Chain A
Amino acid sequence: MATVEARNLTKLFDQVHAVDGINLLAQEGEFLVLLGPSGCGKTTLMRLIAGLERPTKGDIAIDGKVVTDLPPRARNIAMVFQSYALYPHLTVERNISFPLRAVGMPKGQIREKVEWAAQMFGIERFLDRKPRQLSGGERQRVALARAVVREPVVFLLDEPLSNLDAKLRNSARDELKQFQRSLGTTTIYVTHDQAEAMGLGDRIAVLNQGKVIQIGTPQEIYGSPMDTFVATFIGSPPMNLIEDGGTWLGFRPEALLPKEVEPDGDNMNFRLRITRIEYLGADRLVYGVIEGRTPEAHVISKIPTNIRIELAAGQGYDFVLRKQDIQRFDRHSSLRLNGGAT
């Protein structure tokens, strides 16, 4: 258990700032998610923390001690790769015990540890198999067992769920969170999947173009995004932004509802001409244009299916928006202007 700190961390690849002056602190035992679009520098940041890349500038501190000049093996961290990076020529047992043999642990102790880790992930049956004989989910468990087995002070997880199919991903997410809670090890988790980030993270750091844009709990990130990038990156579909004088007016699709749902209250009223309706099972996504605005304001409304108001494409309807759900962003700096709703 340890804190992980990035101090003014910068990494240049051919004059491009992959990581651009990042300051970040992961608390003891925290599950910190690095979230951002591809190319935002989240994987580079993780590789810097692991010691697989050397920073151009700045320092990494683990448990308060600067480890910038130490090789990966001296940092006592464990990493799970997107590809799992299992050693294809070694059995599962040998894969898991590799980090232990590397530090020269006695044989008997290695066997105990491997059994403990294998049991934690329910892979005792596969110990004699080679990785290619395992399914994607089983490989992922082996990779986690290999990371856990030497009880590192920090886990680094680089999109460990992205190679699993959608069904498996949900249950794996749940297991991952549970095992992290039970071990209480500081965990840094890289993903571009916001559902994963929201579901797993104690806190989320949203990255873009090598910088941390916002760091906070899932509620803070979703409820009061720092700028229009976070506002549109988080949430599916993204936050609606419409021009309003010198500001952007931002509101979540689920905040925009037909007037019949909430006829009274401190609301903003819109006349919406519906262009298209998508039925998604639990929700309906209604795409429309707000009438009487220039330039045209395209918005999306997300209506739970249990609101059974008849809507049809090509027609106009009255929609409302509670004033407290509205956020404003500066048109030039794209930063949030008011305090937000939550």
Chain B
Amino acid sequence: MIDTYTTAPKRAEAGLLARFADNERWLSRVMLAPAILYIVLLVGFPFLLSLFYSLSSVTVASREIHFVGLENFRRIVESGTFWLSLKNTILITVISQFFVIVFANILAMALLVDFRVKWFVRFLILLPWVAPISLGSIGWLWIFDSIYSIINWTVRVIGLFGPNFWPIWLGQPDLAIASIIIVNVWRIVPLATVIVLAGLTSIPKDIHDAAAVDGAGFWRRHFQITAPLIMPITLVALLFGIIFTFTDLIVVFVLTRGGPYDQTQVIASWAYFTGIQGGDLAGGAAISLFLFPVLVAVAVLFLWFARRAEVT
């Protein structure tokens, strides 16, 4: 019987790679590393740098940096353009997101129904999202052009405008803001539609059937069953929309460059014009930091609300 144990059983030898792949402690660290590296180098470092800049006197013209405390912030708060930019940013975000949610709901419900060329319509709806924002905005620049505006020509041919009515879309402050809102809605709606559509498809068919049998018509079914059920995911769409619109600089930059007379300036564009084009790096950094608390508040608020409203 002793003989049985004289030859030790051959141990299964795992290769180096296999041993590493089975070591969850190290594997998880290695897999998380790229994301952490990305956040530290491309988000964290610039953020800290701009914090530092905003408290200094740095400009593109001088190599000297002095600590100036909150001087930059005082300057910004005292300027009228800042308050106008803040007002514009909030106005554009709120109005555009209202339309985004309304249109996204309508489109998502339309896409829920089966029809023949659904894949093509889905593709068309997604197109604004996959196209680069700058290219899309340049397209809109032509649509809003003061002479060639396709909107104006079309409406004139139909005969809705009188002979002397010719709106200069990007030249009148209120129309320019409206134009920026339109482009932002056009840009965000696809993403919101896809998100809302995912929410709608996650509602079991039985629930709609039950509501139909229980005597609910279309509106009651939508506002008492569907809308509350997709509320959490709608909030996610809204959160993305707010962040994208609030921080966007490209649409304003391409369409109006903040004009006429800074009337359509938003915080992001004004920070860019001050810091990069104006050379006042410290001022630009300070302006852009005003985005931060607002976005943090929005993110925390919505994540909290989305979790609370979760349904199983």
Contacts and interface: CB of A to CB of B under 8 A. Distances in A.
Contacts of B211: 87, 98
A146 B215 CA distance: 12
A52 interface: yes
Contacts of B204: 83, 85
B213 A52 contact: yes
A102 B214 CA distance: 7
Given A88-B312, A89-B229, A81 B216 contact: no
A238 interface: no
Interface in A75-97: 77-79, 81-83, 85-89
Contacts of B163: none
A247 to B, nearest CB: 45
B228 A85 contact: no
B310 to A, nearest CB: 10
Per DSSP, are chain B's interface residues mostly helix, strand or loop, or mixed? helix
Nearest to A150: B215
A132 B310 CA distance: 11
Contacts of A83: 204, 206
B14 to A, nearest CB: 44
Contact of A73 (B213, B224, B311): B213
What's the interface size class on B, roughly? 10 to 19
Contacts of A216: none
Contact of A98 (B214, B217, B228, B229): B214
Interface string A106-139: 0000000000000000000000000010000000
A131 to B, nearest CB: 9
Given A83-B204, A132-B311, A102 B215 contact: yes
A103 interface: yes
A73 B214 contact: yes
Given A88-B311, A102-B220, A78 B213 contact: yes
Contact of B207 (A78, A85, A150): A85
B31 interface: no
A79 B212 CA distance: 10
A223 interface: no
A50 interface: yes
A72 interface: yes
B210 A71 contact: no
A99 interface: yes
A225 to B, nearest CB: 33
Contact of B212 (A71, A86, A88, A156): A71
B225 interface: yes
Contact of A81 (B210, B217, B225): B210
A252 to B, nearest CB: 38
Interface in A258-276: none
B214 A52 contact: no
B119 to A, nearest CB: 18
A99 B211 CA distance: 8
B174 interface: no
A246 to B, nearest CB: 48
A62 B210 CA distance: 19
Contacts of B225: 87
Ranked nearest first, the 6 interchain pairs of A and B with the lowest CB-CB distance are A102-B215, A85-B206, A85-B210, A73-B215, A99-B214, A88-B311
Given A88-B207, A88-B229, 17 more contacts: A47-B209, A50-B213, A51-B213, A52-B212, A71-B212, A78-B213, A79-B209, A79-B213, A81-B210, A85-B209, A85-B210, A87-B211, A87-B225, A98-B214, A102-B216, A132-B311, A146-B214
Interface of B: 204, 206-207, 209-217, 220, 224-225, 228-229, 311-312
12 contacts: A52-B209, A52-B213, A73-B212, A73-B213, A78-B213, A78-B214, A79-B213, A82-B206, A83-B206, A89-B228, A98-B211, A99-B214
